[in-house]
Amino acid sequence: MQTLIEIILPVFVLIGFGYVVTWRGVLGESVIDGLMKFTQTIAIPCLLFRSIWTLDFGDSFTAPLLISFYTGSLSCFLAGLFGVRFFFKRGWEDAVAIGFCCLFANSVLLGLAITERAYGTDALSANYAIIALHSPFCYGLGITVMEFVRARAAELPNRDVPMIVLKAMFRNALVIGIMLGAVFNLLNISLPVPLSDALDMMVRTALPAALFAMGGVLYRYRPEGDMRVIRYVCAISLVLHPTITWTLGKSFMLDDSAFRSAVLNAAMAPGINAYVFANMYARARRVAASSVLIATALSVLTVWLWLGALP
């Protein structure tokens, strides 16, 4: 119970504060949208840039860690894609969008915040190793499969798909922040102290502002659509992904710090980007929005249970 009160609840109280403020009309939807856009296109990319820039690639990027997490991610995408297509009889494009919901864990807004509160800032190196590949992997997989499905439906040549995917990837601010951080890290580039200090000030705003804005955005997400599909997405995101990651992490004998980060990131609800992806293709938007809202609420309990089970 102490874990729930001291680690998890403050994160969700901040999300709830944003929800209530928007619900009561203290801040309008346009303000919340602007704040979310600020965090998604400026503050969080700065956070990712700063973190990847200063990350020790040799110690953090280990194959067992990444295999443990991303095997779970890929398995959940396939479970969502084929489960929705064949069990729930949705179209292929809807199935891809819902599969993306199962794929894209909220590793930045929730994963970082909860891991930091539970284990401290020194325990985040494995989180950043996972996050460095998260947006490129998830968007690369989701966009590639969606564009392939659309090309087949429109009878377009498959050779057009790679260029479409690359254009979409390089318009994503999170991917750009990660790539710039990697370049600065590998080339050992430094910034003047005033710029570095300004960057640190921006980084400190990222998570609190994003969590508050997330609450405001979630206010508009009503639990509409097919509840059976939504429950399916929640089960995959909150149970299947961390179970696979836990099993593989134990098999690879990950050290405690990496194991905790991998499992906690895998246990996160779908992130706002799940809805962004669905909205980008105008497919399964109600299911995506409702899945983000309901899974985020359920994760208060499930994350508590996973934290209690971790070493």
Query: Rounded to the nearest 5 degrees, what angle is found at the Cα of 79, between the Cα atoms of 177 and 61?
Result: 35
Q: What is the pLDDT of residue 7?
A: 62
What lies within 8 Å, CB to CB, of 181 at 6+ separation is: 48, 49, 50, 51, 52, 53, 55, 132
Q: What is the pLDDT of residue 125?
A: 87
Q: What is the pLDDT of residue 5?
A: 62
Residue 239 CA from chain centroid, whole number: 16
Confidence of residue 222 (pLDDT cuts 50, 70, 90): low
The H-assigned helical ranges of the chain are 2-3, 9-23, 29-38, 44-53, 57-60, 63-86, 92-103, 113-119, 125-154, 161-169, 173-186, 193-218, 227-235, 241-251, 256-266, 272-281, 285-309
Q: What is the pLDDT of residue 162?
A: 80
Q: What is the pLDDT of residue 225?
A: 64
Residue 3 CA from chain centroid, whole number: 23
In single-letter form, the type of residue at position 52 comes to I
Judge whether residue 247 has pLDDT over 90: yes
Judge whether residue 236 has pLDDT over 80: yes
Query: Rounded to the nearest 5 degrees, what angle is found at the Cα of 303, between the Cα atoms of 253 and 29?
Result: 130
Confidence of residue 285 (pLDDT cuts 50, 70, 90): confident
What is the radius of gyration, based on Cα positions, of the chain? 19
Question: Considering only 108-122, 183-197, 291-305, which range has the smallest mean pLDDT?
Answer: 108-122
User: What is the C-alpha separation between 136 and 103, in angstroms, rounded?
Assistant: 12
Confidence of residue 256 (pLDDT cuts 50, 70, 90): very high
Q: In this structure, how many other beta carbons lie within 10 angstroms of the beta carbon of residue 38?
A: 16
Q: Which residue has the higher pLDDT, 140 or 169?
A: 140
Average pLDDT, the chain: 87
Residue whose pair of structure tokens reads 């961390």 in the numeric block: 242
For residue 89, give the DSSP letter: -
| Coil/strand/helix, residue 270 | strand
For the segment 205-232, the average pLDDT, to the nearest whole number, is 83
Q: At what angle do helices 9-23 and 285-309 cross, to 10 degrees?
A: 150
Per-domain boundaries in the chain: 2-309
- Mention the CATH class of domain 2-309: mainly alpha
Judge whether residue 274 has pLDDT over 90: no
Question: Considering only 4-8, 33-37, 224-228, which range has the smallest mean pLDDT?
Answer: 4-8
Judge whether residue 65 has pLDDT over 80: yes
Confidence of residue 2 (pLDDT cuts 50, 70, 90): low
For the segment 51-59, the average pLDDT, to the nearest whole number, is 75
Residue 304 CA from chain centroid, whole number: 19
Judge whether residue 211 has pLDDT over 60: yes
CB 167 within 8 A of CB 158: no
